[in-house]
Amino acid sequence: MTATIARTDRWAALFFTIWIGQALSLVGSRVGGFALTWWLTRTSGSATILATASMVMMLPHVFLGPFAGALVDRWNRRRVMIVADSFTALLSALLAVLFWTESLQIWHVYVIMFLRALGGAFHSPAMQASTSLMVTRDQLTRVGGMNQTLSGIMAIDVITAAFAIGPLCFVHIPQPERKAHAYVAAKPSVWRDVVDGFHYLWDWKGMFLVLMLATLINMAITPGMSLLPVLVQKHFRGGAVQLGWMNSAWGIGVIAGGVILSAWGGFKSKILTSMLGLIGMGLGLAIVGLSPAHAFWLSIAGLALGGTMNPIVNGPFMALFQQVVAPELQGRVFTVLQSMAALATPLGLAIAGPLSDWLGVQVWFVAGGLVCAVAGVAILLTPAVMHIESHGHALQAARDATAE
């Protein structure tokens, strides 16, 4: 079976069978992440400890991501997701045992976070690359909005992982044919596949500028969001309840933004939709950083605004990439994008941890918000990025003509 399955009337039933299972699994992962983060905050009270935990989670994506993407393009994507979900469930069970026996230590958390991220480094590109083969092109932006909605959901992990694995055992996910062209070597190897992914992005100027933008934004924003528990504890003098409210504000915003994008579909120009969302997200994060200690409600509003804009930033970009990147290249291209965007994050976290212990986490929210807003305006004035869709459509038309 080839990629033509996405043109049949059955695509919605097949795709959303997988999507619902993944949604339930993500629900549990969010609760597990919340528990680990607050445990680290209560145990250490240190921004440096939290920053280190975030860096540990980034390492698999930065250093193994491109290779994971190349392997995903070679392997059966359904099996990759089954193994990754099962691996995550086992780690969650181990974490539960450590909690129950009161033997959990900080280094245990670091190891488990690293291993969970390792599974995610394979699962994420497999799911993203499968989407474009199961969903019709005219629905990719709406599905992108629904995918972004998932990141705002929270619930329980080990049991819900079974709902993600079950459908994958029975629903077929189409595999792309490996076609010979400029970015697929005649004698392929995993290393050559990784290099091809970098060349593909390097040769596409608009896409490369988007990559640089994502790198800058991740470096500015991730430290602040990772250190949110310290902001709650030290600036607002709150506890787990207040952290839950802030996470809920962001999560509800993400769900709302995903629903809006799913129903609306965005402007005709996906880049315009994303950049306006980026400006709005920057304003929301800046509000969080500027909120006085006695105005906790204002930071809640800022996070809700930022969360709402987040899917409107990410959904159209992902839909564009899924639409114009050749299916047989998507695994490696997606992971190159993710790895390069995450590359600057450990540097930002390495600076943010000690500096936030000194100056306060709110500095990072203000700086990150300003970077988002200014970057959004700058991209709107950059023709190479604003015309990325027409270039992508030309590539798609040429690829379709070749296929015929």
In a domain, 296, yes or no: yes
Q: What is the DSSP string of 248-274?
A: HHHHHHHHHHHHHHHHH---SSHHHHH
Q: What does the block give as tokens for 22?
A: 């993944």
Q: Which two tokens stand for residue 247?
A: 């996470």
When divided into structural domains, the chain yields a total of 1
CA atoms in the 13 A half-sphere facing the CB of 173: 26
Three-state secondary structure readout of 352-396 = HHHHHHHHCCHHHHHHHHHHHHHHHHHHHCCHHHHCHHHHHHHHH
Establish if 314 belongs to a structural domain: yes
Structural domain includes residue 94: yes
Phi, psi of 361 (to 5 degrees): -70, -25
CA distance 350 to 123: 27
What are the residue ranges of helices labelled H in 8-105?
A: 11-44, 47-59, 65-74, 77-100
**Would you say residue 181 lies in a domain?**
no
Q: Would you say the C-alpha torsion 314, 320, 322, 325 has a positive or negative sign?
A: negative
| Termini Cα distance of the chain | 18
Residue 387 domain-assigned? yes
Calpha distance 163→200 (Å, rounded): 36
Query: Tokens 């190349």 sit at which residue?
Result: 70
CATH code assigned at 302 = 1.20.1250.20
Assigned domain for 388 exists: yes
pTM above 0.95, yes or no: no
Tens digits of per-residue pLDDT, 44-83? 777 788 878 877 877 777 777 667 777 777 788 788 888 8
Q: Considering only residues 178 and 24, tell me which one the structure prediction assigns the higher pLDDT.
A: 24
Whether 182 is in a domain gets the answer no
Any alpha helices (H) in 101-157, and if so which ranges? 106-134, 140-150
- Averaged pLDDT of the chain: 76
8 Å CB contact between 137 and 13:
no
Tens digit of each residue's pLDDT (9 = 90 or more) over 291-337? 999 999 999 999 999 999 998 988 887 787 777 777 767 777 777 77
Domain that includes residue 285, residue range: 3-176+188-403
Q: What is the pLDDT of residues 351-373, one digit of tens each?
A: 877 877 787 888 888 988 998 99
Q: Is residue 183 in a domain?
A: no
